[in-house]
Amino acid sequence: MPIFVMRLILVFLLVTPTFFSAQNQNNYPQDYFGSPLEIPLILSGTFAELRANHFHSGMDIKTQQRVGLKVLAAADGFVSRIKVQHYGYGKALYITHPNGYTTVYAHLSEYSPEIEAYVKKHQYDKESYEIELFPHTQDLIVEKGSVVAYSGNSGGSGGPHLHFEIRNKEEHPINPMLFGIDIKDTTRPLISSIYVYPIGDSSTVNNANTRQKLRLTPQNNGDYITESIEAYGTIGFGVNTTDRQDLAGNRNGVYSIQAFLNGSQNLDIDFSKFSFDETIQLNRFIDYEHYKTKGERIQKLYNDNNGLSIFKSDVNNGYLTIEDSISTVYKIRVSDFKRNDAWITIPIKGVKPKNEFVKNETTTPYYIYANSATNLKEGRVSVDFASNTFYDDFHIDFKVKNDTLFLGEDTVPMKKYFSISYDISNYSEADRNKLYIARLVGYRKYPSYEGATRKGNILSCSTRGLGTFALARDETKPTITPVNFRKDQWLSNYRYLKIKIDDSGSGISNYRATVNDKWILTEYDYKTKTLTYDFNDGVSTNTKNNLKVIVTDNVGNSTTFESVFYRK
Ligand SMILES: [Zn+2]
């Protein structure tokens, strides 16, 4: 073989893998961002995977069931934002880089000493654990690979991990894997179930006009085939799918879903980037009613006005129109980021049904026009929906019985919050101060606090999700219990002071702890209901120290706890 041919083959061999792996080719800088941890990256959550009321905005990196791992700046930059909150991201750090991107590190246990000192100074100045800071570009400069924080489990985190995000200048989160942050994955996505929806009045599937679950048969090669269906009119499909990566059993999100009708593509859902403004529209993307009643997330492969940028279809918004006597094949391709694919093949036979079906729609005296505002009022209760709170027009359940408001079930996706108001002038002034608006949750109708904003005799709250609501009364004061000390104890060798705080009714609204009348920073962890003070903050300098903790619940019931401890 002539040398130049061998060279050509060699070049081809070398080039080919790059060519194929460049399917994820993009305009994002590659290898600019390093890993934020020193351990191999194993994910418990992927970018844009489906969560409650939102798409996940970053990757969740497992931290070996531990807290306190070093968190590294992914690239040179400056700390542009620090946010500490009880819920949500917990302790979070934002680093803005010269290329315009911002990396986000969340659920941290603490910041690196320089940043920690900066945060604590502001917390002590403001006398608040929760804080949001926007340091100047020169205040906290960091280098790529330097330790900026320690991983943790703070805020709304269900176990130790690092939540890592990359955002562009518009603050839109982007899949970090598009920047070359690599996760080992040779495992195909898993298809758990597939559904078909007849859409509109005259459509049918298997001689029914309701959603049908299809029998799914896995093939030896990892693909799937369903039973053949008979359909007529406009239909759409839905799929429940997750992806497992090689080094962990977690069921994470997939990267893309495409669909093809007789070989031509009619849909492309691409989880590479979204905006926080659209994240609530996840509830429209999934079959929300099915999710709320069965706990399973079916991703709809047709765009019923979901308004999502991840959803791309040039052909009929993903809907299929099935004609009588015509057979078609619908194929769905589910891919993870590494382009491991799972294909689902659905044979469809066009069969016009012999009899007509009537959709049985529940009717009530109250109707929502999605694009106009609606006020519902009965007796002392008033409900206000802004325009475009809902996606569709529909009959809404609305009934008031004494102080209970029946507002259907939380099975209708909503884009906005709405308000509920009670006129409480029929209560005595003493009672009015103890009332709050609760959502009645679950079979046992447990009252869950929604709000208690009071203007004169009007008590109101803002909430999302239909359901049953009632006025509830909280006369129980919060409880305050020392965890690791008792009164008059010597605590010289203690690093932390721990106090448990709780409230059984409306929940804790605020807390304040002082030593010798000086405010002390106590970190509140809602999961363990614990306040923690670090003696290294150096507030308790006396030998004899007076500790005072005041906790107030959401209707204003307040408890004061006082104790004395000694240190030298
Ligand atoms: Zn996360």
pLDDT tens for each residue of 365-418: 999 999 999 999 999 999 999 999 999 999 999 999 999 999 999 999 999 999
Q: How confident is residue 471, by pLDDT bands cut at 50, 70 and 90? A: very high
Q: 513, 549 in Cβ contact below 8 A?
A: yes
d(C-alpha 137, C-alpha 146), whole Å: 17
d(C-alpha 262, C-alpha 195), whole Å: 19
d(C-alpha 156, C-alpha 87), whole Å: 5
41 CA from centroid of ligand 1 (Å): 14
Which residue intervals of 398-510 are DSSP H helices? Answer: 429-432
- Average pLDDT of the chain is 93
453 CA from centroid of ligand 1 (Å): 31
Query: Could you give the count of Cα atoms lying within 13 Å of 105 in the half-sphere of its Cβ?
Result: 28
153 CA from centroid of ligand 1 (Å): 11
Does 14 score more than 50 pLDDT?
no
For residue 354, the model assigns a pLDDT of 83
87 CA from centroid of ligand 1 (Å): 13
3-state secondary structure of 335: strand
51 CA from centroid of ligand 1 (Å): 10
Work out the end-to-end distance of the chain between its first and last CA atoms, rounded to an integer number of angstroms. 87
132 CA from centroid of ligand 1 (Å): 19
428 CA from centroid of ligand 1 (Å): 46
Average pLDDT for 260-266: 93
Q: What are the CA-CA distances from residue 389 to residues 392, 395, 437, 553 (Å)? A: 9, 14, 21, 31
Closest-CA residue to 477 (of 401, 407, 560): 560
Does 16 score more than 50 pLDDT?
no
Q: Tokens for 515?
A: 């030593």
For residue 25, the model assigns a pLDDT of 62
Does 327 score more than 90 pLDDT?
yes
Q: How confident is residue 6, by pLDDT bands cut at 50, 70 and 90? A: very low
Does 130 score more than 70 pLDDT?
yes
Closest-CA residue to 399 (of 472, 466, 465): 466
Closest-CA residue to 224 (of 209, 211, 239): 239
Q: What is the largest CA-CA distance in the chain?
A: 100
Average pLDDT for 295-322: 93
508 CA from centroid of ligand 1 (Å): 25
d(C-alpha 520, C-alpha 541), whole Å: 12
Does 489 score more than 70 pLDDT?
yes
DSSP 272-323: TB--GGGGGGHHHHB-HHHHHHH---PEESS-SS---TTEE-SSGGG-EEEP
Average pLDDT for 7-30: 52
d(C-alpha 182, C-alpha 313), whole Å: 29
60 CA from centroid of ligand 1 (Å): 5
Does 10 score more than 70 pLDDT?
no
DSSP 201-265: TT-EETTBSS-EEEPEEE-TTS-EEE--EEEEEEEEEEEEEEB--TT----B--SEEEEEETTEE
Secondary structure element (H or E) that encloses residue 9, with its range = helix 3-21
134 CA from centroid of ligand 1 (Å): 22
Per-residue b or e along 311-341, where b marks 16 or more CB atoms closer than 10 Å to that residue's CB: bebeeebbbbebeeeeebebbbbbbbbbebe
* Contacts of 74 by beta carbon, 8 Å cutoff, 6+ apart: 33, 34, 35, 36, 95, 97, 103, 144, 164, 166
Q: Tokens for 210?
A: 């309701």
Does 12 score more than 70 pLDDT?
no
Q: How confident is residue 355, by pLDDT bands cut at 50, 70 and 90? A: confident
Q: For the chain, list the domains and their CATH numbers.
A: 43-179 (2.70.70.10), 190-350 (no CATH), 367-473 (no CATH), 479-566 (2.60.40.1220)
Q: Which chain residues have CB less than 5 Å from ligand 1, an ion?
A: 60, 163
107 CA from centroid of ligand 1 (Å): 8
Q: 189, 241 in Cβ contact below 8 A?
A: yes
Closest-CA residue to 484 (of 468, 496, 473): 496
**Using CA atoms in the order 85, 91, 97, 100, what is the torsion angle rounded to 10 degrees?**
-30
59 CA from centroid of ligand 1 (Å): 6
Q: 197, 219 in Cβ contact below 8 A?
A: no
For residue 125, the model assigns a pLDDT of 98
Q: Tokens for 240?
A: 């429940």
Does 453 score more than 60 pLDDT?
yes
415 CA from centroid of ligand 1 (Å): 22
Q: 519, 127 in Cβ contact below 8 A?
A: yes
Does 1 score more than 50 pLDDT?
no
d(C-alpha 508, C-alpha 558), whole Å: 10
